[in-house]
A and B are shown apart, each in its own frame.
Chain A
Amino acid sequence: METAIETHALVKRYGDVTAVDGLSLHVARGEIYAFLGLNGAGKTTTVRLLLGMVRPTSGEVTVLGKQIRFGLDKPWDRVGYLVETADAYPELTVRENLEAVRRLRPGVESAAVDRAIERLGLGAYANRRSGTLSLGNSQRLGLAKALLHRPDLLLLDEPANGLDPAGIVEIRNLLIELSRQEGVTVFLCSHILAEVARLAQRIGILHQGRLLQELGLEDLERNRRRRLVVRARDADAALVALRGGGWSPVLAAGGEIEIRDAAAIERPDDVAAGLVQAGCPPTMLMVEEEDLEQYFLRLVGQAGGGA
Chain B
Amino acid sequence: MTNLAQAVYVEMLKARRSRVSLFTALGILILPLAAGFFMIILKDPELARRVGLISTKAHLVAGSADWPSYLGLLTQSIAGGGLVLFGLVVIWVFGREFSDRTAKDLLALPTPRSAVVLSKFVVTAMWCAALTAVLCLFGLAVGVAIGFPPASHQAILEGFLAIVAAALMVIALVTPMGFFASAGRGYLAPMGTTFLILLLAQVIAAAGWGEYFPWSIPGVFSQGQPLGAASYAILLLTSLAGLAATLRWWERADQAR
Q: Report if A104-B256 is in contact (Cβ < 8 Å); known contacts: A85-B101, A91-B17, A91-B18.
A: no
Nearest-neighbor residue (CB-CB) of A155 within chain B: B108
Instruction: Tell me the minimal C-beta distance from A273 to chain B in angstroms.
Output: 61
The reply on B164 being an interface residue by CB < 8 A is no
Cα-based distance from A70 to B107 in the complex (angstroms)? 12
By size class, the interface of chain B is: 20 to 34
Cα-based distance from A74 to B104 in the complex (angstroms)? 16
Binding-face segment, A26-34, A76-84, A190-198: A76-84
Query: Pick the contact of A96 from B13, B18, B105 — CB < 8 Å?
Result: B13
Binding-face segment, B1-9, B125-133, B233-241: B1-9
Q: With a CB–CB cut-off of 8 A, which chain A residues contact B255?
A: 48, 53-54
The interface on chain A, measured as residues whose beta carbon lies within 8 A of the other chain's beta carbons, has a size of 33
Mark interface residues in A65-76 (1 if CB within 8 Å of B CB, else 0).
000001000101
Chain B residues 216-257 with CB under 8 Å of chain A are 251-252, 254-256
Instruction: Tell me the minimal C-beta distance from A126 to chain B in angstroms.
Output: 16
Main DSSP-derived SS at the A contact region = loop
The reply on B198 being an interface residue by CB < 8 A is no
Chain B residues 66-106 with CB under 8 Å of chain A are 100-102, 104-106
Mark interface residues in A204-248 (1 if CB within 8 Å of B CB, else 0).
000000000000000000000000000000000000000000000
Q: With a CB–CB cut-off of 8 A, which chain A residues contact B108?
A: 51-53, 74, 76, 79, 81
Q: With a CB–CB cut-off of 8 A, which chain B residues contact A51?
A: 107-108
Cα-based distance from A92 to B104 in the complex (angstroms)? 17
Most interface-central of B9, B13, B106 (chain A CB within 10 A): B13
B6 near A106 with CB under 8 A, answer: yes
Chain B residues 168-201 with CB under 8 Å of chain A are none
Given A55-B252, A70-B252, 15 further pairs, Cβ under 8 A: A51-B107, A53-B104, A53-B255, A70-B251, A76-B110, A79-B108, A84-B104, A87-B101, A89-B100, A89-B102, A92-B14, A100-B10, A101-B105, A104-B6, A104-B110
Chosen A-B contacts, 11 in total, with CB atoms closer than 8 Å, are: A48-B256, A54-B254, A54-B256, A70-B252, A87-B102, A87-B105, A90-B100, A100-B10, A104-B111, A106-B1, A106-B111
